[in-house]
Each structure stands twice: as C-alpha cells, then as structure tokens.
A = this chain, B = another copy of it.
Amino acid sequence: MTIHKGDNCGFTQASAPILNGKRSIGVKKQTVFFQNPPKIIAGASVVTDRESKGPIGQYFDITEHDPKMGKKCFESAEITMMDKAVRKAVEKSGKRIGDIDAFMAGDLLNQITTSAYVARGLEIPFIGLYNACSTFTEAIAIGSMMISSGYYENILCSTASHFATAERQYRYPLEYGSQRPPYAQWTVTGAGCSVLSNKGEGPRVVAATIGRVIDFGINDLSNMGAAMAPAAMDSMTRLFKDTDTRPEDYDLILTGDLGKLGSDILRDLMREQGYELGQRYIDCGSLIYDVTQKCYQGGSGAGCSATVFNSYILRKINEGEYNRVALFATGALMSTQSCYQGETMPSISHGIVVER
C-alpha cells in the first residue's frame, strides 16, 4: 500500500487540534485527528439466521434463531439483542461493566428506546445519540474524542436494528405482506458493540470526519441508498481533502448501508469529484447478504455497519489483512411523519479511520 505523504496532514503526523482560525464553509475542515488515538479493544455482534447464512456469517459472535428471542414483541427482542452484544463485547475486552465510563448508543426506534432500555440495565452513564444508520460511527467519533482528551478511559459504542421493528415503524407491519420495490434494502436484524479504551491492544481510531446534513431531494422511504449516497460522498471527499489522502491510501473503504444501488451512485458521485473508489470500496449492506437471499439491494439499518464492523472487519484488521480502513456509516434523517408531510430525506454520514 502506498501512503500518500501530504505536507502536514498524513496520518503518521497526526497534528491534533486542526480546527484553528476562521474558515468559510466551503473549505472548512471537518476531520478531527486524535492525539492519543483510542483503541478498539473488543467488538461483538449479535445477528439472526438470515445474517448468519450470508457471506460473512461465520464472523458473528452470536446468532439468534428466533427473531423474537423468546419475547412477546420484536421491540423487546431488539433490546435483548443489543444487551447481548454489549455484554459480549465487554466480556471479550476482559473488563466488567463497572469498568466502563459511559455507554454511547442509538437505534432506529422512536426515542431510541432500544438503547435506553439497555442503558437502564447497565447502570452506567448513558449518552443517547441519533443520526439514524450513521449513529455507529457517530458514537465511535465522539467516544474517541472523549477518550483521547483524557476525560474517559473506557467507552461502549453500540447500535442495533431489527427488520420487523423497522418495517413496522418506517413502512408497513410485516403482517400486511406489502410488496417491496426492487430498489429496497433489508434492515439487518443485529446489534454491534465496540469497546473503546485508552489502554490495551487493538486497532486505533486515528481520525473522524463529522458529517454535514445533505439532501438531494429523494422522498421515497424505500429508496434509502439514493438518499444517503450524496452524504457519503460529501464526508468521504471531506476526509480525503482534510487529510490529503486518496482512495489508494486505504486498504479498505466502507460505507454503512448504501446497498448495491446506493454504492453504484456513490461510485459515480465520487468519480465526479475526481476519486476512483475501485475494488477497495465495499458497502457493509452489500457484504452482509448474498444475492440469493432476496434482500434486493442488500442490508441496511443501524445494525448493519455495527455488526459488519464488529465482526468481519475488526477480525481482518486484527489479523493484519487491512492496515487502514475508513468506515462511513450512512443515515437518512427523516421520519415517516416528515415524509408524509412532504419533506424529502436529509442524510448524513460520519467517517472514522481505523489503523492497525
């Protein structure tokens, strides 16, 4: 891998506080470099049968065979799932819940109830986040700032989604048997959790790009990839510019859940910006399901990037297959109500750069 050496902003020369002086929006740097990069000392993922039968199924920690997980409703199952992911991640890190300084989490349910009810059982400080399916990298980015600055030692970052709860809330209850359009994606039923720490072994979070809200006017609740691709383009371009890097400088560039269609749109948009993503780019949503699984454009949901990253990707980084990975989780920030009221879908993407 060729590492592009910029004048002053290669990752190896991480020059923290970069946000100095007044700049106009157009050239403003959105990327934060971490002076003391926190480490991802453990990650865990919980999924259901569908995900475990996909191409990277063997990498998930726990597979639930019952999508209700013995609970009365899918929402309770989602809580159980995130709780398991969190406890598994803490166990893998060799720590106890009591060692953790804060739990940063979010999910797709109204009022992020999955995260709140999990937090209730953890009895540690809770920081609720919501940037839809980009919440996972939002949590890693903010958590990294909190650790890098010396205020915190250990932080949990977790997100989850559930196909049945998401369909009911955002589209139609499964019982309606609605037909899905060919550009639809399949919400991942899964939860992922990373343990960030200032000590220990693991890949380092060296930089984060906090995204802006971008809206290209899509208003079809099934066409999420198209809505989110411009946000991914905006943050990805910003990362490259702020760090003076190019796609070739990364072993792997990931987006969260653009799906097949959204990924193709992103490739086109990036080409217009002068960046050829090539083979090193893949979308977590494209990675998690096989084309034979009838998930159309692939996976989506806050659990998509969180499960893929905390299983397959983290393993491959730890095994030395990837040395530098950029992950851009992508989120659409509408509600069903805002769309019914005629609004389009604003989107966002937060990026993180993880190095072995």
Contact = CB atoms under 8 A, between A and B. Distances in A.
A264 interface: no
B131 A131 contact: no
Q: How many copies does the complex hold?
A: 2
A196 B108 CA distance: 29
Interface residues of A, number: 69
A291 interface: no
A73 B120 contact: no
A171 interface: no
A346 B120 contact: yes
A341 interface: yes
A222 interface: no
Contacts of A17: 150-151
Interface of A: 16-17, 19-20, 22-25, 28, 30, 32, 72-73, 75-76, 97-99, 101-102, 106, 108-113, 116-117, 119-120, 122-132, 135, 138, 142, 145-146, 148-153, 210-215, 333-338, 341, 343, 346, 348
13 contacts: A72-B341, A110-B337, A113-B338, A116-B213, A116-B348, A117-B333, A119-B212, A120-B213, A120-B346, A124-B212, A127-B131, A127-B138, A127-B142
